[in-house]
Chains A and B, each alone.
Chain A
Amino acid sequence: MTEKYQNFLRRYGTALGGLALFIFFAIAAENFLNPSNLLNVLKQISFLTILAIGFSFALTTSELDLSFATVGSLACVVAGGLIYHQFSPILAIAAGLFAGLAAGVINGLIVTRLKVPSLIGTLAVSSIATGVSFWITGGVAFVGRWADAFLFLGRGQLVGIPVLVFWTLIIAVFSLFVLKQTRIGIHMIFTGENDEAARLGGIPTQKMKVLGLSISGLTAGFTGVLLASTLSSADPTAADGFMLTAIAAVLLGMTMIEPGHPNVPGSLIGALTIGILSNGLILMGVEYYVQDIILGMIIIASVSVSASTITKAAFSV
């Protein structure tokens, strides 16, 4: 019985912590339970969650992607720039997604072909993405009256719920399906678990790593498009701020459900916890910089619990 209890705590302890946080703010922070505030929390964490899920695909194949945030910004200015210049929304969306995917494929090739550790390779791509973003915009942001169809993507509502929440759910469910029910998914997991064994078993591990990093790039591209739509502007640093929060969400997620390993439900709960924390602190009037301090502590605490996977991803070629 005690073993069962321990196992339960190991798998759901962090989620219970998140729930405790929710209850705390429900009591301590005025307006926290207000439905419009709760919907706002969900809306706020959607970018973060989509980025986190993408990042966890890369991490599943035991590679890090430190470029997703700036790649998201790049996709944001690519899509926003095209809208701003009166191109069709479809073209703008496609171009934004393509920019993200291309960055992901490049990351994959750098890691598998040039044998550059992902920690370094993706950081370099991140720098390139930032440079290109500023080049495209000339250092300013694209702002203006944008097509309604494009704006619906990020600002629309369905049955009173922000469209952003639906995007997040669709991506989460689809990712869970790919990882748990398909051959590609389990091949990615095997690649991350035991690269050499997977290769001997006939799994194309290099391709799986390229795929993991490409998915991370594609979701970053999608996030960039959603940001351009939600903000109805495109800033060359639009998504940069999500870098640490998204990684923190994944790391927090790795302390639950499948402890030690990136997993979709964990990332969702991790993102939700971080969203609740930041919203609650704001409502309580706590200074904004406190969030950064807490975020850093969350990262250290999470990695100390699930160190091996992240160390392997960071320091093996």
Chain B
Amino acid sequence: MATLLDLKSIHKSYGAVQALNGVSLTVREGEVLAICGDNGAGKSTLIKIVSGAEAATSGQVFLRGKEVHFASPADALACGVATIYQDLALAPRLQVYQNIFMGAELTRATFIPFLRILDKKKMSQAAADYLGRLNIEIKDMKAPVASLSGGQRQAVAISRALRWQASLVIMDEPTAALGVRETAQVLDLIRQLHDQAVTIIIISHNMEDVVAVATRIVILKNGLKLGECLTENLTAAELSRMIALGDLGDRNIIRQTAVE
């Protein structure tokens, strides 16, 4: 598989606090990469750097072999890197299709020259299309997002990533605060997204979820990469033990220590 994203020796400090201490990792096209680690390991910081929300103190980010500097999430989005945040970044009062097209609304011409108005019909139809591709049923594209279940909201957020035509989707704790049934629904959504040849990075505290959907796992601890392992034949219990002990043992496929 070709390399999509390449992080080289990423450092990030907040004043005296070293959040990331030289993390390098590679994301390959079409994989579902999970980033795991205890609280304070540096997962969120790493994700913020890739998504353009924060700048690294030092280190390089390469996308398809070209170095990129994301100054904002909008920059990252323009390069096809979309982040689905834990709070999903939706406007609950507004309708399903409005949320999917937030910031990129479709318009149509009117009889008055240069006056374009919102093309609500076209957006509704396209929104239904995106959701259909995820096998999720939301009957009314005009329903307010507030009336949807957690799983359905996640689907709306993912549909927005599809609408952006993102090639890399970063998901921050996608199953946090969801019930059992909805978690299963979201995991299914991730698989659907994976089937559409979208590369996914997922952060999760839920080991069951990680082993269920990820193809590869990177484990961080105290701002360093402990190692990587594949999810084949890996159990959630084993993964938990690796994170807790800070040792991947025979499972480790790459070992990396602090650079500099």
State whether these chains interact. Answer: yes
Query: Does A2 belong to the interface (CB within 8 Å)?
Result: no
User: Nearest CB to that of A195 among chain B residues?
Assistant: B91
Bound together, the chains give a CA A260 to CA B117 distance in angstroms of: 26
Contacts of B91 in A (CB 8 A): 189-190, 193-194, 197-198
In the complex, what's the smallest C-beta–C-beta distance from B11 to chain A, in angstroms? 25
Q: Which of A187, A189, A201, A261 has the most CB of B within 10 A?
A: A201
Bound together, the chains give a CA A181 to CA B104 distance in angstroms of: 14
Please state if A196 and B118 are interface contacts (CB–CB under 8 Å): no
In the complex, what's the smallest C-beta–C-beta distance from B44 to chain A, in angstroms? 16
Query: Does A113 belong to the interface (CB within 8 Å)?
Result: no
Contacts of B85 in A (CB 8 A): 200
Known: A190-B91, A196-B89, A201-B103. A181 touches B117 (CB 8 A): yes
Contacts of A203 in B (CB 8 A): 102-103
Query: Does B241 belong to the interface (CB within 8 Å)?
Result: no
In the complex, what's the smallest C-beta–C-beta distance from A265 to chain B, in angstroms? 17
Bound together, the chains give a CA A201 to CA B98 distance in angstroms of: 12
Query: Does A34 belong to the interface (CB within 8 Å)?
Result: no
Known: A181-B117, A182-B118. A193 touches B103 (CB 8 A): no
Query: Number of residues in A with C-beta < 8 Å to the partner?
Result: 19
Interface residues of A in 146-200 (CB under 8 A from B): 181-183, 186-187, 189-190, 193-194, 196-200
Please state if A200 and B93 are interface contacts (CB–CB under 8 Å): no
Question: How would you classify the secondary structure of chain A's contact residues: helix, strand, loop or mixed?
Answer: helix
Bound together, the chains give a CA A193 to CA B102 distance in angstroms of: 12
Please state if A194 and B103 are interface contacts (CB–CB under 8 Å): no
In the complex, what's the smallest C-beta–C-beta distance from B171 to chain A, in angstroms? 14
Query: Does B235 belong to the interface (CB within 8 Å)?
Result: no
In the complex, what's the smallest C-beta–C-beta distance from A218 to chain B, in angstroms? 19
Query: Does B105 belong to the interface (CB within 8 Å)?
Result: yes
Partner of B89, one of A181, A187, A189, A201: A201
21 sample A-B contacts, Cβ–Cβ < 8 Å, listed by A number:
A181-B117, A182-B116, A183-B116, A186-B98, A186-B118, A189-B94, A193-B91, A193-B92, A194-B89, A197-B91, A197-B102, A198-B102, A200-B73, A200-B83, A200-B85, A200-B89, A201-B102, A201-B103, A201-B160, A260-B93, A261-B93
For the A-B complex with A182-B117, A186-B118, A194-B92 known, give 12 more contacts whose Cβ atoms are closer than 8 Å. A183-B105, A183-B118, A186-B94, A190-B91, A190-B94, A190-B103, A197-B90, A198-B91, A199-B73, A200-B85, A202-B74, A203-B103
